[in-house]
Amino acid sequence: MKMENMTITAQTEVAPKIYRIVLNGPLARELRDPGQFVNIRVGTGIDPTLRRPISICDVDLENEELTMIYRQEGKGTKLLSEKLVGDEINILGPLGQGFPVEVAKKNSTCVLIGGGVGIPPLYYLAKKLVATGANVITILGFRTEKDIFLEEEFNELGQVIVTTEDGSKGMKGYVTDALKSLTSYDVYYTCGPKPMLRAVEITAQSPGYISLEERMGCGVGACLACVCDLTKPNEETGKGYAKICSDGPVFLAGEVIL
Amino acid sequence: MKMENMTITAQTEVAPKIYRIVLNGPLARELRDPGQFVNIRVGTGIDPTLRRPISICDVDLENEELTMIYRQEGKGTKLLSEKLVGDEINILGPLGQGFPVEVAKKNSTCVLIGGGVGIPPLYYLAKKLVATGANVITILGFRTEKDIFLEEEFNELGQVIVTTEDGSKGMKGYVTDALKSLTSYDVYYTCGPKPMLRAVEITAQSPGYISLEERMGCGVGACLACVCDLTKPNEETGKGYAKICSDGPVFLAGEVIL
Amino acid sequence: MSRIAVNLPGLTMKNPVMPASGCFAFGQEYGKLYDLNRLGAICVKAVTVEERRGNPTPRVAETPGGMLNAIGLQNPGLEHVLEHELPWLEKYDTPIVVNIAGYQVEDYMEVAKEISKVSNVNAIELNISCPNVKEGGITFGTDASTAAHLTEKVKTVSEVPVYVKLSPNVTDIVEIAKAVEQAGADGLSMINTLLGMRIDLKTGQPILANRTGGLSGAAIKPVAIRMIHDVSQQVDIPIIGMGGIYEVDDILEFMMAGASAVAVGTANFIDPFVCPTLIDQLEERMDELGIDKLSSIVGRSSLCNNL
Amino acid sequence: MSRIAVNLPGLTMKNPVMPASGCFAFGQEYGKLYDLNRLGAICVKAVTVEERRGNPTPRVAETPGGMLNAIGLQNPGLEHVLEHELPWLEKYDTPIVVNIAGYQVEDYMEVAKEISKVSNVNAIELNISCPNVKEGGITFGTDASTAAHLTEKVKTVSEVPVYVKLSPNVTDIVEIAKAVEQAGADGLSMINTLLGMRIDLKTGQPILANRTGGLSGAAIKPVAIRMIHDVSQQVDIPIIGMGGIYEVDDILEFMMAGASAVAVGTANFIDPFVCPTLIDQLEERMDELGIDKLSSIVGRSSLCNNL
Ligand SMILES: Cc1cc2nc3c(=O)[nH]c(=O)nc-3n(C[C@H](O)[C@H](O)[C@H](O)COP(=O)(O)OP(=O)(O)OC[C@H]3O[C@@H](n4cnc5c(N)ncnc54)[C@H](O)[C@@H]3O)c2cc1C
Ligand SMILES: Cc1cc2nc3c(=O)[nH]c(=O)nc-3n(C[C@H](O)[C@H](O)[C@H](O)COP(=O)(O)OP(=O)(O)OC[C@H]3O[C@@H](n4cnc5c(N)ncnc54)[C@H](O)[C@@H]3O)c2cc1C
Ligand SMILES: Cc1cc2nc3c(=O)[nH]c(=O)nc-3n(C[C@H](O)[C@H](O)[C@H](O)COP(=O)(O)O)c2cc1C
Ligand SMILES: Cc1cc2nc3c(=O)[nH]c(=O)nc-3n(C[C@H](O)[C@H](O)[C@H](O)COP(=O)(O)O)c2cc1C
Ligand code: FES
Ligand code: FES
């Protein structure tokens, strides 16, 4: 983990209100696992007060570049979207425990299930899984056709099933509808809104990993803003809860209460 | 009075921590009198909260340009000094009652006495006075040689006496020392720190006009933050005080208690 | 009734926005900038029996996301207000709320009696919460029974509805709110400023000549929301909400917390056009959020209320 | 003694800066980022007798210039702290302050007794001001005699100096400060958070699952300065000042107001290196302002004090 001013080298709107930002700086080299996130200081003064957590979507270790994809949601992401190429931005990260890639064996089948802005962290995961020789099937859930992003990029890494709630593109319905149609896979990885995660956990036929979101204070495990309950107390520490920012955001499915 | 986003067309450091900024926009045409000021919104969010009052130093009505000279004092003027040519900045103004030019008759002698960042509003005043055919003698007080600004500009409009507290340039001492050396003049105009204004008021041998400063809230006369006491109640309103932002900042010497 | 109209005792407002007392003088300054008829109501500066000269300057200091003021209730006094300020406002058909203050109960009563007779005064706001003068009401505002007594007395003489402006500088604002409601208040205004101080590092002394001052602006918004939320669940009289309103969303947040109308103070100093601007933005924002009528969201945060 | 060293009961501090309770857990997280020996002291998260799971999430909400939190005193409980957290801190020679909380007087006493025996604990901070749990102390913090009683009891069992952490959500903080001083408090910590609320416009409901939360950050600084100023003139025990410290100037402002040391809370979330950074900047800023020794400016704003 580092705190560093990184330079924006690209910023584009890839779908309505969805931005792709690329940041350059040595901090990029610190990335350990897909699914880790950074905590972004979107302003310089006292307002906004808190940093904004955004998942790392891709990394270019050689060129020291991190890519993130985010939705312009409220005040902070709006400020972020107004920054220009060449601007510097203060980044704290990489933070948290990401998706375990080593659990996927060569030639095993991994299903990646993402909803909306839960999709981005799955992209670097997919790349890493493909690199280890696993087969990747990706299910991408959107509300409607125009919201779609990253489809092409995932296409290059394996089979992609797009679902839209209104059926305007791909399969009509939810990611779980697509998941039900898959017969055999060895592990799944998922990130998205909580109701989706709950549905995926129930539907899935294999062990899996779930990435959670929560409102954060510190982002480093010190303030206890972002806890979730463990299904059973941690054997080592005896604690009945986990901190999403430092113990997560990725947990083994079933490990935490959604 | 208008509120307008004006464009910065020049910004230079003319002496240590003293900046000259030029703003372009139709608001410039609203200027009525020298000595009026603008209230500048130096940030965009909630911090800094208050606008910063800065006197108008010069105006170019044709090209719609206002010139201000300010000292980088605290947070707000620091933010202002960091703005770049091409940036827009929200201006409220012109505000207040400026120096009366019409009281100076043709060929009469006017003494302008400025201390530090009290000097800028006297510049446009000097130009207007010269235009009406009055003779202008300017006394400019600084702490030390390197703080000097606007000397050359005033030189083109009449006699200039520079005083420095340490004697590094011009006359050693205060503006009042220079004022004492002048024998006959018809009216004086002064702006600077309060102790200087007090000294000038005592020293001067003619009627004069004094420009005051006070911490402001609204800048338009609505909050009563910036009052000063009148020597005797206003005949019309019966009020015993005046608002520096809207009744001033310029008052007839003796009209207000310094 | 329009989507953004609201009705409170004495105040038929075409929209829920009024300038807050002390931030708008008696309207003449901002009246040069826009038509005051666009406002839902106008709340004028505190009026006392006699002229008050207020505190020495500096009277304001900036703070992070806010400001301190220690004006000290400067005003030209009842007679002058009756003769000059209120008549000037007659040309508007916007309801007028007059904020009143005093040293003792009798002062409040005198001002209330005279002011409430004026034909264009629609309501009185009892300032029992000015933190900037020792006798300026803060003692009335921090004790429930004193506040109730004052309210009761003023109600006996006022010909218009009486709103009591509560101080946030108390342990239990609900207690005070309930007491003044029982004493007959027609509504509440909340919140006044939080007591604060800033020190000038160069002198080591407080920036304000009065040493302490009242904190207003965005910084205090969550305190205001909390107090309005808590009070609105315990009283039946309407609340005029204020404290850090800068944006259109803030208006909606205050109303969801339990305010029936809002007042904008400090934000006028940042943007003198803020009141009409927010009013103009209101309907579009309601559309985005699927809010049909403004009156329907009052107190929405407390589930049971008004849904 | 160095220019920036300060001495308080139980706390020999190489500089006046400590992290504030609840914003630094038990040090392990920030200990990965820098050497905790650089700190003047370390104040750890509230400890209760039993493990506490705290409030449901969301537990934080952003506000203008600040944030709300409703963590709800989550902590692993006395035993775990004694066995795991405090031993981990042994490797540092920085004084440790342990913040303690409870449901009733006996709880506080039990924790104080056990914690104060630990060799690397230098002081206890009595949290009588947590606004986020009904039984979390706020009732102790809003009534002078209850606060005094608790202080007295804890003093009978504590082997280290006891600082009482005051709530700002009161009408008269001076009264409470004086009461706990008389009851034997060795120092005061102030201020804890102001009660606040934010509402989510999309749902109409409070953002925090606990509905209300404690407001911290830059927004509350003027309130903290005012309270510290007022209290420091009426008590003789030292004050650890906190509430919105972000910049080096803030440290000096708190000390001029009357604080003998300071704590930094929310700012850690913005910049995890803020404490060592401010410590590093301190002497240069003192030079600029002509301040010789930090201890000489404590209470400078009150003319008479310590000049
Ligand atoms: C570990 C993690 C990874 C994330 N990765 C991504 C991503 O890759 N792309 C993306 O678009 N979004 C992501 N999010 C959500 C993103 O953090 C929020 O959308 C963002 O913080 C909203 O900030 P705002 O200023 O626009 O909204 P505001 O509503 O103004 O934010 C106010 C406060 O609430 C917090 N907040 C609001 N919504 C959320 C949320 N959903 N989760 C956490 N905090 C929230 C903000 O951080 C801020 O503190 C992630 C969240 C977490 C916790
Ligand atoms: C009518 C008028 C005209 C002025 N003209 C000029 C000018 O031409 N050039 C120039 O350099 N300065 C001028 N000043 C002073 C200038 O307004 C302050 O230096 C400036 O506001 C300081 O802001 P800051 O953010 O740098 O300092 P901070 O200390 O961060 O300011 C904090 C608050 O205090 C106020 N404040 C601080 N110092 C002063 C002051 N001396 N007068 C009024 N308010 C103050 C600020 O406006 C702000 O609200 C003028 C002041 C007034 C009232
Ligand atoms: C400069 C100033 C003067 C004020 N004068 C009064 C007053 O005379 N009477 C009163 O009841 N409140 C007064 N207030 C308080 C405001 O009406 C309002 O309650 C408070 O500022 C919170 O709102 P805001 O954050 O929008 O400013 C004053 C506030 C300011 C900033
Ligand atoms: C997330 C969070 C948790 C806190 N937990 C505690 C606590 O356990 N005990 C306590 O006495 N104060 C607690 N506080 C209050 C802080 O110690 C401090 O008094 C307050 O935040 C003001 O300082 P700041 O503005 O620098 O944050 C907490 C504050 C925050 C923001
Ligand atoms: S955000 Fe502070 S512990 Fe997770
Ligand atoms: S600054 Fe508001 S009246 Fe002058």
When pLDDT is averaged across residues C87-104 and rounded to a whole number, the result is 95
Considering only the beta carbons, identify the residue of B41, B51, B227 that sits closest to C57.
B227
> How far is ligand 6, taken at its centre, from the CA of residue C253, in Å?
29
Q: In the structure, what pLDDT confidence band is assigned to residue C247 with cuts at 50, 70 and 90?
A: very high
> B85-106 pLDDT, tens per residue?
999 999 999 999 999 999 999 9
| Rounded average pLDDT over B231-255 | 92
pLDDT at position D307 is 38
**pLDDT of A236:** 81
Contact list in D for residue B46 (CB cut-off 8 A) is 64-65
Distance from CA of A207 to the nearest CA of C (A): 40
User: How large is the average pLDDT for residues B21-40?
Assistant: 97
- Closest ligand to the CA of A149: 1
**3-state DSSP: chain A helix, strand, coil percent, rounded to 5?**
20, 35, 45
Average pLDDT rounded to a whole number, residues D143-148? 93
pLDDT for B201 beyond 90: yes
Q: Is the CB of D155 under 6 A from ligand 4?
A: no
d(CA C97, CA C108): 15
Query: B47 contacts in D (CB within 8 Å)?
Result: 65, 218
C275 in catalytic set: no
Ligand 2 atom with least separation from CA of B53? 17
Is the pLDDT assigned to residue D141 strictly greater than 90? Answer: no
Q: Which pLDDT band holds residue C305 (cuts at 50, 70, 90)?
A: very low
Residue pLDDT, tens place only, D247-281: 999 999 999 999 999 999 999 999 999 999 999 99
Beta carbon of D69 within 6 Å of any ligand 4 atom: yes
- Nearest-CA neighbor of D298 among D206, D236, D245, D247? D236
Give the pLDDT score at C130.
72
Question: Range(s) for CATH 2.40.30.10 in chain B?
Answer: 2-95
d(CA A216, CA C218): 22
Assess whether the previous peptide bond of A91 is cis (omega < 30° from 0). no
Alpha carbon distance A116, A139 (integer Å):
11
Pairwise CA distance, residues A219 & A244, whole Å: 9
Q: What percent of chain D has pLDDT over 90?
A: 91
What residues of chain B lie within 8 A of the CB of A79, using their CB? Answer: none
Predicted confidence band of residue D130 (pLDDT cuts 50, 70, 90) = confident
* pLDDT at site D138: 64
Summarize pLDDT for A49-70 with one digit per residue, the tens.
Answer: 999 999 999 999 999 999 999 9
For ligand 2, the distance from its centroid to the CA atom of residue B56, given in whole angstroms, is: 13
Residues A185-191 have a mean pLDDT of: 96
Residues in chain A within 8 Å Cβ distance of D74: 224, 227, 241
Contact B222 CB / ligand 3 (< 6 Å): no
Asked if D68's CB is within 8 angstroms of C65's CB, the reply is: no
- Binning pLDDT at 50, 70 and 90, where does residue C100 land? very high
Taking the CA atoms of residue C249, residue C250, residue C252 and residue C257 in that order, the dihedral angle to the nearest 10 degrees is 140
Q: Where are the alpha helices (DSSP H) in chain C?
A: 28-31, 78-80, 86-89, 105-117, 138-141, 144-157, 173-182, 221-232, 248-257, 267-270, 274-289
Record the tokens describing residue B52, joined without a space.
Answer: 């910063």
Summarize the confidence of residues C254-274 as an average pLDDT: 98
Asked whether the predicted pLDDT for residue C137 surpasses 90, the reply is: no
- Residue D306: pLDDT band (50, 70, 90) is very low
Q: Tell me: the pLDDT tens digits for A82-129?
A: 999 999 999 999 999 999 999 999 999 999 999 999 999 999 999 999
State how far residue C91 is from chain D, nearest Cα, in angstroms: 37
**Amino acid occupying residue C302:** S
User: For residue D68, how far is its CA from the centre of ligand 4 (angstroms)?
Assistant: 10
Calculate the average pLDDT of chain D: 94
User: Does B46 reach chain D within 8 Å, measured CB to CB?
Assistant: yes
Other Cβ atoms within 10 Å of C168 Cβ, number = 25
Residues in chain C within 8 Å Cβ distance of A46: 64-65
Q: What is the mean pLDDT of residues B225-234?
A: 94
Predicted local distance difference test score (pLDDT) of residue C140: 82
Interface test with C, best of B27, B40, B46, B226 (most C CBs within 10 A): B46
pLDDT-based confidence at residue C45 (cuts at 50, 70, 90): very high
Please judge whether C206 and D297 are an interchain contact, meaning their C-beta atoms are less than 8 angstroms apart. Answer: no
Ligand 5, residues at Cβ distance < 6 Å: A 216-219, 221-226, 243, 245
Helix locations, chain A, DSSP H:
75-81, 120-131, 151-155, 175-181, 194-203
Element (H, E) at D284: helix D274-289
Query: Ligand 1: residues whose CB is within 6 Å?
Result: A 37, 50, 52-55, 68-71, 73-77, 117, 120, 213-216, 249; D 62
A214-251+254-258: CATH architecture: Ribbon (2.10)
Domain with CATH 3.40.50.80 in chain B: 101-212
Say which DSSP state A117 is in. Answer: G
Are B43 and A45 in contact (CB < 8 Å)?
yes
Distance from CA of D18 to the nearest CA of A (A): 15
Confidence of residue D167 (pLDDT cuts 50, 70, 90): very high
DSSP assignment string, A195-235: HHHHHHHHH-SS-EEEE-----SSSSSSS--SEEEBSS--T
Q: C26: nearest CA in chain B?
A: B222
**What pLDDT does B209 receive?**
98
Which of D60, D62, D198, D202 is the pocket-test mutation for ligand 1 (most atoms within 8 Å of CB)?
D62
pLDDT score recorded for residue C103 = 86
**pLDDT average, residue stretch B224-249:** 92
Distance CA B136, CA B158 (A): 5
Reported CATH class of domain B2-95: mainly beta
* Predicted pLDDT of residue C187: 98
Whether B239 shows a pLDDT value over 90: the answer reads no
Minimum Cα–Cα distance from B47: chain D residue: D65
Which residues does a 6 A CB cutoff place in the pocket of ligand 6?
B 216-219, 221-226, 243, 245
Amino acid (1-letter code) at residue A114: G
Taking the CA of residue C29 as reference, the ligand 6 atom at the shortest distance is 3
Which of C33-37, D138-142, D171-175, D220-224 is predicted with the least confidence, judged by mean pLDDT? D138-142
Instruction: Please indicate whether, in this complex, the C-beta atoms of D59 and A222 are within 8 angstroms of each other.
Output: no
Q: What is the pLDDT of residues D90-110, one digit of tens each?
A: 999 999 999 999 988 999 999
β partners of residue D146? none
- What top-level class would CATH report for the domain A101-212? alpha beta
C135: pLDDT confidence band, cut at 50, 70 and 90?
low
Length of chain B: 258
Q: Which residue has the tokens 């006070």?
A: B214
Ligand nearest to the CA of residue C45, numbered in listed order: 3
Domain with CATH 2.10.240.10 in chain A: 214-251+254-258
Q: Report whether pLDDT(C182) > 70.
A: yes
Q: Which of B49-58, C126-135, C145-154 has the lowest mean pLDDT?
A: C126-135
Q: Would you call D25 and A224 a contact, using CB atoms and an 8 Å cutoff?
A: yes
Mean pLDDT of chain C: 94
Q: How confident is the model at residue A42 (pLDDT cuts 50, 70, 90)?
A: very high
* Residue D303 confidence (pLDDT) above 70: no
Name the least confident of B185-189, B198-202, C127-131, D33-37: C127-131
Q: What is the ipTM of this complex?
A: 0.96
Atom of ligand 6 at shortest distance to CA of B243? 4
- The pLDDT value recorded for residue C134 is 58
Average model confidence (pLDDT) across chain B: 96
